[in-house]
Structures are given as C-alpha cells and as structure tokens.
Amino acid sequence: MTTTAAINLFTPLMMADLQLPSRIVMAPMTRSRAGAGNAPTCMMATYYLQRAGAGLIISEATQVSPQAVGYPGTPGIHSYDQIAGWRNVTDAVHGAGGRIFVQLWHVGRISHPSWQPDGQLPVAPSAIRPAGEAMTADGMQPFVTPRALDTDEIPGIVEQFARAAANARAAGFDGAELHAANGYLLDQFLRDGSNRRTDRYGGSAENRCRLLLEVTAAVGDVLGAGRVGVRLSPDGTFNDMHDSDPVRTFGTAVQLLNRIRPAYLHVSEGKYDCSPLRRAFNGLYMANSGYDFARGSAALASGTADLIAYGTSFIANPDLPARFADNLPLAPADPATFYGGDKRGYTDYPPAAGRRMAASECD
C-alpha cells in the first residue's frame, strides 16, 4: 500500500514553470522607504534579501505610472532609475536563491492633486469622492472628487500596466501580481459602490470586471499568464469600498479570470466565505488573512489553499520559514516603524540566534 503525505507549508510547488521550494509567501507590504524619484534603494535590496527564504516574495505595491502615485515613499516601475533600483533588489534575492514578483499598482481615486502630474485630479471609474483623508507630503488632507475616466482613456490605463510589466521583466522580476484589492483603481472598477459608469466598463458585474480582465490579459501577454497573479479583497472596506452583491461581483471576476488562466488568485479573506472562489478558480489559490503556522498548515492539508501569504510576521522575522521549520517563537513587530524612516524596524530585526544577517552588495 502506498500513502501520500499531506501537503504542508514546506511542500514544494510548481507554479507554471516556476519551482517554489515552499508554500510560504511573503505578502506585499507597503513600507514607504523608496528614495528620490520613488526609486528603490540599497536598503530595500537588503530588506528583501533578508527575506529571500520565502517560497515566493511579492513586492510592496509599485506604481505603474506617475498618475498611479498616492502615498509618500512608495516605489514605482516606470522610470530608468526605478528599474535600476529594482534590479538591485531582484539580483540580491536571486543571488540568495529566492524568487520575487512585483505587485503592480494604480491607486486611482485614493490619490491627491499634490501627487499628480501638473496637480491634476486623480482618476477613477466615476466621480465619487471617497470618505476619509489622503496622505500627502504636507500631512493628511481630505480626499478630492476624482475625475471619471473617459471610455477612450481606459486603453491607456491598460497600457500603463503592460509597460510596467515590461519594465518588471527588465528589472529581473520573476512575475507580477496585479493589485485589484483594497480600494485601488482595479478594485474601484469592480465594485458598484465606486463604479457608476454606463458604458461597457460599468453596470453589470461582467462590465465592471472588464478592466481587470483587459489588464490581466495585457500583462500576461508580456510575462506569460503563468507568471501573473491577481489579488482581490471581496469584503474589504478599506478606502471607503463597498458592493451591493460581492458574491456575484467576485464570483463573476473569478469565472472570467479563468479564461486567461493567471497563475494564482491571492485573496485577502477577512470574514468573507471565500470557499466558492477557491472552488471556482482553476489556478492556485493563495490565502491571506492573519494566518499563523498552525492555521496555514491546516489550510494546506485540507486543500482549502495552495499557498499561504504572511505579512506582519515577515516584518519582524526575516527568517520566518526557518523559524517555522524549527518551531521557534516569533518576534513581535513594531507598528511605529511600519511606514517610512530608516533601517530601524526595517532591516535591523535579527534572525534567530546563531543565524547570520544578510546584507546586499549595494548597501
């Protein structure tokens, strides 16, 4: 009689043609340490290098164009200096045997004229001002009413993502994840609370999914569909998001994504029952929502997920997979140093006793 061992966090996985040594993914986390011109710095290369033991790293959200900017200190991938900065990061990660995807990002209405070229209004599916405040270089200021994109402008948004994917390839990334969650532009198109359009990009769930599908296809054309992932947040309310029927909206999105066959679906689960999305999606399912070792192990063993994304745990534990393997306690993270600043709370978290801290060659 033969037996099959249960899948666990350390079971290798083939993602299309990319071999992952484990199911432990470093989730994308904004840390706001980019340098001049929103270019990645050598300190960022060290940060990612220290975490290269992950089965896969997904970078922090990265702007696809100057129009996509919405926060201070966040990196882009639309200029020569940004591509060069990211090349230092990917070289460091690959030199340590790691794999890294870039998360491509357009914030849409969650911006402010102070971040926009020539002080223009942020763009969005509809001219609906979100509740809350924008983070600007001069402090918090009320969100403005965005400008609704004209129908003939939307191919230009798709092209921004396609160019960013080409730049990501030049920068040495192994693939890309599309940020269609957390109230940013692709998510704004998906949900009827932020999308009141009457053209082919609004109205029905199918129409509201159109931009996500076009972007996914365009990025897949550049990188190969097997090197593209999509992140969704079905019950997310961040950035004043809501939808009248999320089951239909996100169920439709997954069914349509199946036609393009991206490598994985990365879901910020929250309290939403995501099992229908898991069953409906034909690719790999990456779960993300406060997982620890035990819960992640259980999800993989039961087949409710193929990969587990860990966020805050990776901030304070650069050697998180090794700590999991050796059943070592995890260090706590300091929220005061999550966003902006220097190496404190960024590259100075020590590995477990007896392990060496890595540093990039450019640091």
C-alpha to C-alpha distance for 164 and 147, rounded to whole angstroms: 23
Retrieve residue 190's tokens. Answer: 């998906």
- Report the C-alpha gap between 119 and 76 in whole angstroms: 18
In whole angstroms, give the CA distance from residue 12 to residue 15: 10
User: Which class for 360: exposed (0-12), middle (13-18), buried (19 or more C-beta within 10 A)?
Assistant: buried
C-alpha 282/C-alpha 262 separation (Å) is 9
- CA nearest 259: which of 221, 307, 225? 225
Cα–Cα distance between 167 and 308 in angstroms, integer? 27
Taking the alpha carbons at both ends of the chain, their separation in whole angstroms is: 54
What does the H/E/C string look like for 205-230? HHHHCHHHHHHHHHHHHHHCHHHEEE
Q: Catalytic residue positions? A: 184
Could you tell me the two tokens for 241?
């998001």
Cβ count within 10 A of residue 159: 14
